[in-house]
Structure formats: C-alpha cells, structure tokens
Amino acid sequence: MIRFGIGTDRHRLGVGRKLILGGVEVPSPKGAVGHSDADSLTHAIIDALLGAAGLGDIGHHFPDSDPKWKNASSIEMLKKVVETLGVSGYKPVNVDSTVHLELPKLGRLKQEMTGKLADALGLPRHLVNVKAKSGETVGTVGRGEVVEAIAVAQVESITPE
C-alpha cells in the first residue's frame, strides 16, 4: 500500500537564533524562533511522513511542553520518526519540499540539505528534493518575518497485506 502526506511549518525569524534548514546551518543575521532548533523544512517533512502513515503530527510526538526537545536537532527528530514509521509498518519512499524564505538565498545549500535529509530518511538523494522560493517582497515571508516550508511525502507498507 502506498500513502501520501502533506506537512507545513512556519517559524518567526529573530535576531540571536541560528537559521537551520534541512539540518544545515544557513548563514543569516536572523534565525528561526522555536522550542527545538526550529528547522521548518525538517518539521514539514516530519509532519508529511507522520500524516502519510496516519500517526498524528510533530506536536504529538515532540511536544514543546517537554524540556527534552528544547533546542533539539530536528534531523535527530526525523530519524526517530523514520524508526516510528518502521515500527508501524511503513517506510519512506520519497519526499518533495519547498522552503519559502526571502533572504538569504539558499542556492547551493539546497544540495547539502538534500544530502542530510536523505541520510536521515535512509533514502538515496535522488528520492529527496528541496526547492526554495522567495516571497517576492509580499506577505510575512516577503518582509523577512518568517520562514515557511511545505513537504509531500510518500510512504509504503512494509508489512504483508
């Protein structure tokens, strides 16, 4: 059985925080504000995977009320989700994602993000895709107030039907 899920995530940008996307530190004067490392890209992928498997959402598995997840690496959280999928009888098949960020431009960093995400997912790089879009100076993304991400994930059953 093949299943699909969609995930989205948004974090406010602020001075004094690192900007982590897809497990990669992005040089930027502003970083994402959140309980964990606030990696919007990885959070969207986590939600897409959990949704595809019918396993709730990131807040259920990694609540911001739990100090265990304070400043946690979202890539490590993604690895835990892949383990949870396995226990539930699923494995990731592929992921497509888009980051919405006005500045900085992500350029070559997208390939590094793809590699880190693919490794965490246990997938070959050609089955993980990261795109980037600006806000064209419109809205909260365009004004540089937030970073957003959206992801679509496909999982397949690893248990006999």
The yes-or-no verdict on residue 87 having pLDDT over 70 is yes
CB 143 within 8 A of CB 102: yes
* pLDDT reported for residue 29: 96
Q: In the structure, what pLDDT confidence band is assigned to residue 161 with cuts at 50, 70 and 90?
A: low
- Helices (H) then strands (E): counts for the chain: 5, 7
CA distances to 55, 93, 116, 119, 152 from 20, rounded to whole Å, are 25, 24, 12, 16, 20
pTM of the full predicted structure?
0.97
Q: Give per-residue pLDDT as tens, 91-101.
A: 999 999 999 99
My answer on whether omega of the bond before 104 falls inside 30° of 0, hence cis, is yes
Copy the structure tokens of residue 69.
Answer: 């997840």
